[in-house]
């Protein structure tokens, strides 16, 4: 499974990237706001650091403007994936940008029907938002399962990029279902290393080691 980091925080991306944990990055207007940085500058910095796809999102609502914004964002670096919303205009922009050879990530996907349209429009990635479905008491993981079945039935190459990840369990459940990619905040990727029995075991080993009176170095 590929790990994308869902942030525009350069320091946080660098820490994970140095450990080989980063296969790509996703950003959105809210994450750019949170970073306090200029979108073009911060995206360039991220693209220079990470070799995989870096999603940068358009903000226009009409296809023509989305395409113009997408082409501008795509000039930042060869590893840009232009992110467009799952609206009819977004699908139109997806088709146009993909036809010109650009990677497109279709975002804000909340139904299998939307995901099917994105695949037909040539999206490289579809971003179903699990957490936001859970927030309204629907099951985000059901959506990932449905898209996996549909894409496999017809051998669509569009990668399922599970987004709006809120927990370690979300990551593991997506991996079990077979999502191609998960994009998670840095804190969730780091939390995957935690286990209460690891902490307890380490405490015991440290205590017993102290009693031996030995040193390794």
Indicate which single residue of 6, 89, 159, 173 sits in contact with ligand E4P (rule: CB under 6 A).
6
For residues 17 and 26, which CB has a smaller minimum distance to ligand E4P in the complex?
Answer: 26
Task: Give the C-alpha separation, 123 to 117, whole Å.
Answer: 9
* Count of residues in the chain: 217
User: Residue 137: CA atoms inside 13 Å, Cβ hemisphere, count?
Assistant: 0
Q: List phi, psi (to 5°) of 45.
A: -60, -40
- Find the helix or strand (DSSP H, E) in which 149 lies: helix 140-154
Q: How far is the CB of 210 from ligand E4P (least distance, A)?
A: 43
* Distance (Å, whole) CA 31 – CA 24: 15
107 lies in the binding site for ligand E4P (CB under 6 A): yes
Give, to the nearest 10 degrees, the angle between helix 140-154 and helix 112-120.
Answer: 40
Please identify which of the residues 34, 44, 83, 215 carries the catalytic annotation: 83
Give dist(CA 49, CA 51) in Å, integer: 7
Active-site annotation holds for 83: yes
- Among 17, 26, 114, 124, the residue binding ligand E4P under the rule CB under 6 A is 26
- Identify which range of 40-48, 74-82, 129-137, 148-156 contacts ligand E4P by CB under 6 A: 129-137
From the list 183, 186, 188, 189, which residue makes contact with ligand E4P (rule: CB under 6 A)? Answer: 183
From candidates 160, 163, 171, 179, binder to ligand E4P by CB under 6 A: 163
Q: Which of 116, 11, 96, 108 is nearest to 55 (CA)?
A: 108
Taking CB under 6 A as the rule, does residue 131 contact ligand E4P? yes
Query: What's the token pair of residue 82?
Result: 């232009």
Stretch that binds ligand E4P, among 62-70, 124-132, 191-199, 200-208 (CB under 6 A): 124-132
Q: Out of 17, 114, 124, 164, which residue is the one contacting ligand E4P (CB under 6 A)?
A: 164
CA distance 79 to 73: 11
Contact stretch for ligand E4P (CB under 6 A) within 84-92, 109-117, 123-131, 174-182: 123-131
β-bridge partners, 83: 57, 105
Query: To the nearest whole angstrom, how small is the minimum distance from the Cβ of residue 6 to ligand E4P?
Result: 5
- The DSSP secondary-structure symbol of 155 reads T
- Write out the two tokens for 70: 């997408």
Q: Please state the closest distance from residue 26 (CB atom) to ligand E4P, in A.
A: 4
Contact residues for ligand E4P, defined by CB under 6 A: 6, 26, 28, 107, 127, 129, 131-132, 163-164, 183
Residues known to be catalytic: 83
């Amino acid at each position: 499974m590929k790990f994308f980091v869902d942030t525009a925080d350069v320091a946080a991306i660098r820490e994970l990237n140095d450990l080989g944990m980063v296969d790509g990055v996703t950003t959105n207007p809210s994450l750019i706001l949170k970073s306090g940085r200029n979108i073009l500058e911060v995206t360039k910095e991220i693209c220079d650091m990470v070799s995989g796809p870096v999603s940068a999102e358009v903000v226009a609502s009409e296809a023509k403007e989305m395409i113009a914004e997408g082409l501008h964002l795509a000039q930042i670096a060869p590893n840009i994936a232009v992110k467009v919303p799952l609206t009819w205009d977004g699908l139109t922009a997806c088709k146009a940008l993909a036809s010109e050879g650009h990677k497109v990530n279709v975002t804000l996907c909340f139904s299998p029907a939307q995901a099917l349209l994105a695949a037909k429009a040539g999206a490289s990635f579809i971003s179903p938002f699990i957490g936001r479905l859970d927030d309204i008491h629907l099951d985000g993981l059901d959506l990932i399962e449905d898209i996996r079945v549909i894409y496999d039935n017809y051998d669509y190459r569009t990668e399922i990029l599970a987004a709006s990840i809120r927990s370690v369990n979300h990551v593991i459940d997506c991996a079990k279902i077979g999502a191609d990619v998960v994009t998670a905040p840095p804190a969730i990727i780091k939390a995957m290393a935690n286990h209460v029995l690891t902490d307890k075991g380490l405490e015991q080993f440290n205590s017993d080691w102290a009693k031996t009176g030995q040193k390794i170095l």
